[in-house]
Amino acid sequence: MNLPDLARFIDFTLLRPGCTQSDIRALCLKAVERGYAAVCVPPYFVSQACAYTNGSGVRVATVVGFPHGMHLTETKITEARLALRMGASELDMVVNLAAYFSGDEKYVRSEIEHLVDLSHKDGALLKVIIETALLSPPQIQELCQWSAAAGVDFVKTSTGFAEKGAVLETVQLMRASLPSSVGIKASGGIRTAEAAWAFIQAGATRIGTSTPL
């Protein structure tokens, strides 16, 4: 796969603690130059990223409930509203695994539904990060099914802050667990074009990476 083909799958990402405005500017300019699908930046930098990518077709994504997802739903809603107000067109929301592992299905599903509704009313996409490294295969399947039922746009493998990121077999399992209308974002440890293409073949429709591919 050559660069123009791969570029449309890439969410070029910088969520490292301590990143600066000059780092975000460089990220955005590289994304515009390469024609990537989106940049994914910390909430603090959404307005700047929107300015740097204005008119380019590169979408601006940011994170909600990052990186552990244990925020209250009300906190995530506030984060999402602020990000959308600043111009974000994609939200990557970390699912509340504390609630999930506590057996609170109603809370988890309601939170996803609230974020889907808020995002879609603003014309934005919602990706739900389920942090697959912490889940068993049946749990991955269940969270994929809940997310699809809520109407999410993507289910995302990882924050990049767990012990491991995307795994090919996990993406294949996710693809088998999701309708074709729901995309998969593979992220965490994808640093080469060859690896990105392998994940796309496995079923990913977006690739989150901090490496310019």
Q: In the prediction, which pLDDT does 3 show? A: 56
Number of C-alpha atoms within 13 angstroms, CB side, residue 201? 8
Residues of the chain below pLDDT 50: none
Q: In the prediction, which pLDDT does 82 show? A: 98
Q: Which of 113, 70, 66, 111 is nearest to 88 (CA)?
A: 66
Q: Is the CB of residue 178 less than 8 Å from the CB of residue 186?
A: no
d(CA 65, CA 112): 12
Q: Is the CB of residue 114 less than 8 Å from the CB of residue 77?
A: yes
CB atoms within 10 A of CB 114: 17
Q: Is the CB of residue 109 less than 8 Å from the CB of residue 150?
A: yes
Q: Is the CB of residue 62 less than 8 Å from the CB of residue 43?
A: yes
- Residue 180, both tokens: 């074709």
Catalytic residues: 92, 156, 185
For the chain, give the DSSP string. --HHHHHTTEEEE---TT--HHHHHHHHHHHHHHT-SEEEE-GGGHHHHHHHHTTSS-EEEEEESTTT--S-HHHHHHHHHHHHHHT--EEEEEP-HHHHHTT-HHHHHHHHHHHHHHHHHTT-EEEEE--GGGS-HHHHHHHHHHHHHHT-SEEE---S-SS----HHHHHHHHHHS-TTSEEEEESS--SHHHHHHHHHHT-SEEEESS--
Q: In the prediction, which pLDDT does 5 show? A: 87
Instruction: Give all domains of the chain, ordered by start, each with its CATH number.
Output: 3-209 (3.20.20.70)
pTM over 0.75: yes
